[in-house]
């Protein structure tokens, strides 16, 4: 009988997970609070809130395993589901990644560098932290931040006071500003059998706090580059400490020849979307394989790829498809300012070809 996997969260990540699993003969069921959830267009949807015991029971019935597509799943929901069905990546990974202070302490316990930081509960804490860490610094909410939301750069004593005014109603973290050369990320996968595979390091560019572009593999970093080794070793330490199962992403700041951890995401990740067309096995298929304990697919790049996020609005599909080397992935979401609606993978036989094609697409978009 076909195995059935449950996915908590019906956004684009859940949708792409399901789409990658059907060719392997799997069935899926999605849990989401919104009827129009993009994953519900491709798989049966259980509609209801995550803190509702009866909804969780309905969702779990007859599943072989379950996973989630976002890291802010309430822990009690995972605890309850785990009584019925194995849920991966699991509680440990969620506990460490839902709170920025806990996450940074975890990285440091594994001797992985982070920005200097301090936990902030009051204006006095913030003033003290600003003196110790120095300005400029970045003030962030400890929980529920994404796509640059819930954070402010503080440059002066006046901005410290404003920062507290704006964000101070919740637990905060002050982070020293890392003078990075560029932003990289590592996407890797570990199965229930302990098999691990790493995708190559990629370079990421953000606009207004949202990922705009990923270049894969990162220019100038070949398979034997010392940064690849550093990144993979750190990733393996994290995965082993968490007894991790599935795809895990770590976002790095590169400073010369060393890497500073920004954050991790216990799920398939936007900086891994290039793998759908540019790698031998996509991150989505590998996540599904990992959760089922099946052999993992190869993670080598088979093209040079530039991934561009389509945010807010996009050109009609047929216009995109007239461009050579473009693979289009739309999520079935209605346009809204700042919303991720899809992405394109722009492929090339050389890095130069992929970059030239993506630059001319960006010119075309701004016409
Ligand atoms: P985050 O939500 O923590 O991933 O932050 C969003 C973006 O803000 C990152 O991708 C960086 O470009 C920038 N950023 C965040 N934290 C820092 C930091 N401590 N130092 C320098 N830049 C940062």
Reduce the secondary structure of the chain to three states and give it as a string.
CCCEEEEECCCHHHHHHHHHHHHHCCEEEEEECCCCCHHHHCCCEEECCCCCHHHHHHHHCCCCEEEECCCCCCHHHHHHHHCCCCECCCHHHHHHHCCHHHHHHHHHHCCCCECCEEEECCHHHHHHHHHHHCCCEEEEECCCCCCCCCEEEECCHHHHHHHHHHHCCCCEEEEECCCCCEEEEEEEEECCCCCEEECCCEEEEEECCEEEEEEECCCCCCCCCHHHHHHHHHHHHHHHHHCCCEEEEEEEEEECCEEEEEEEECCCCHHHCCHHHHECCCHHHHHHHHHHCCCCCCCCECCEEEEEEEECCCCCHHHHHCCCCEEEEECCCCCCCCCEEEEEEEEECCHHHHHHHHHHHHHHHCC
Mind listing the pLDDT tens digit for each residue in 222-262? 999 999 999 999 999 999 999 999 999 999 999 999 999 99
The token pair that represents 190 in the structure block: 């570990």
- Return the CATH number at 250: 3.30.470.20
Query: Which residues of the chain have a pLDDT value below 70?
Result: none
> Is the CB of 116 within 6 Å of ligand 1?
no
For residues 53 and 158, membership in a common domain is answered with: no
> Is the CB of 265 within 6 Å of ligand 1?
no
Give the distance (Å) from ligand 1 centre to CA of residue 121: 21
For residues 191 and 170, membership in a common domain is answered with: no
Residue 95 lies in a domain: no
Mind listing the pLDDT tens digit for each residue in 289-313? 999 999 999 999 999 999 999 999 9
- Return the CATH number at 66: 3.40.50.20
How many CA atoms lie within 13 Å of 280's alpha carbon, on the beta-carbon side? 10
The token pair that represents 83 in the structure block: 């009584």
Give the distance (Å) from ligand 1 centre to CA of residue 321: 34
Residue 138 lies in a domain: yes
Give the distance (Å) from ligand 1 centre to CA of residue 2: 42
For residues 309 and 202, membership in a common domain is answered with: yes
For residues 148 and 237, membership in a common domain is answered with: no
Nearest CA to ligand 1 atom 1: 148
Res 365: pLDDT: 86
For residues 222 and 286, membership in a common domain is answered with: yes
Res 145: pLDDT: 80
Domain boundary residue, one of 134, 161, 176: 176
> Is the CB of 30 within 6 Å of ligand 1?
no
For residues 210 and 356, membership in a common domain is answered with: yes
For residues 187 and 271, membership in a common domain is answered with: yes
> Is the CB of 115 within 6 Å of ligand 1?
yes
Residue 107 lies in a domain: no
Give the distance (Å) from ligand 1 centre to CA of residue 257: 19
- For ligand 1, what atom is nearest to the CA of residue 115? 19
Residue 92 lies in a domain: no
Residue 100 lies in a domain: no
For residues 200 and 160, membership in a common domain is answered with: no
> Is the CB of 262 within 6 Å of ligand 1?
yes
Res 261: pLDDT: 98
Q: How many domains does the chain have?
A: 3
Residue 13 lies in a domain: yes
- Return the CATH number at 170: 3.30.1490.20
For residues 200 and 348, membership in a common domain is answered with: yes
Ligand 1 pocket test target in 262, 263, 264 with most atoms within 8 Å of CB? 262
Res 148: pLDDT: 73
- For ligand 1, what atom is nearest to the CA of residue 204? 10
Res 367: pLDDT: 79
What residue numbers bound the domain in which 354 lies?
182-366
> Is the CB of 138 within 6 Å of ligand 1?
yes
For residues 211 and 169, membership in a common domain is answered with: no
Is residue 4 within 8 Å of residue 29, measured between CB atoms?
yes
The reported pTM is 0.97
Nearest CA to ligand 1 atom 2: 148
Residue 221 lies in a domain: yes
Res 254: pLDDT: 98
> Is the CB of 263 within 6 Å of ligand 1?
yes
Residue 188 lies in a domain: yes
For residues 132 and 30, membership in a common domain is answered with: no
For residues 210 and 335, membership in a common domain is answered with: yes
> Is the CB of 18 within 6 Å of ligand 1?
no
Report the DSSP beta bridge partners of residue 197: 189
The token pair that represents 223 in the structure block: 């398979």
Give the distance (Å) from ligand 1 centre to CA of residue 120: 18
């Amino acid at each position: 009988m076909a195995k059935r996997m449950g996915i908590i969260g019906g956004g684009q990540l859940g949708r792409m997970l399901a789409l990658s699993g059907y060719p392997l003969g799997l069935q899926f069921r999605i849990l989401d609070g919104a009827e129009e959830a993009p994953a519900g267009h491709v798989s049966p949807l259980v509609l209801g809130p995550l803190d509702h015991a009866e909804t969780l029971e309905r969702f779990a019935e007859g599943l072989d395993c379950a996973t989630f597509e976002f890291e802010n799943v309430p822990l009690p929901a995972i605890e309850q589901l785990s009584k019925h069905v194995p849920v991966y990546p699991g509680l440990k990974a969620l506990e460490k990644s839902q709170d920025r202070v806990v996450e940074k302490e975890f990285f440091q316990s594994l001797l992985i560098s982070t920005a200097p930081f301090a936990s902030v509960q009051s204006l006095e804490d913030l003033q003290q932290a600003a003196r110790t860490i120095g300005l400029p610094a970045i003030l962030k909410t400890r929980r529920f931040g994404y796509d640059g939301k819930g954070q402010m750069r503080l440059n002066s004593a006046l901005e410290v006071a404003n920062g507290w005014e704006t964000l101070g109603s919740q637990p905060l973290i002050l982070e020293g500003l890392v003078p990075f050369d560029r932003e990289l990320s590592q996407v890797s996968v570990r199965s229930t059998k302990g098999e691990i595979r790493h995708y190559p390091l990629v370079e990421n560019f953000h606009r207004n706090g949202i990922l705009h572009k990923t270049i894969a593999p990162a220019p100038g970093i070949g398979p034997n580059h010392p940064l690849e080794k550093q990144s993979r070793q750190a990733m393996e330490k994290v995965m082993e400490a968490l007894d991790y199962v599935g795809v895990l992403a770590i976002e790095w700041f590169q400073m010369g020849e060393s890497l500073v951890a920004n954050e991790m995401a216990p799920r398939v990740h936007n900086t891994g979307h290039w793998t759908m067309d540019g790698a031998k096995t996509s991150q989505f298929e590998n996540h599904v394989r990992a959760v089922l304990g099946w052999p993992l697919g190869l993670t080598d790049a088979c093209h040079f790829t530039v991934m561009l996020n389509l945010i807010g609005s996009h050109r009609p599909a047929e216009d995109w498809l007239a461009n050579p080397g473009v693979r289009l992935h739309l999520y079935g979401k209605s346009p809204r300012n700042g919303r991720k609606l899809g992405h394109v993978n722009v492929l090339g036989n050389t890095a130069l070809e992929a970059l030239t094609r993506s630059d001319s697409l960006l010119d075309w978009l701004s016409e």
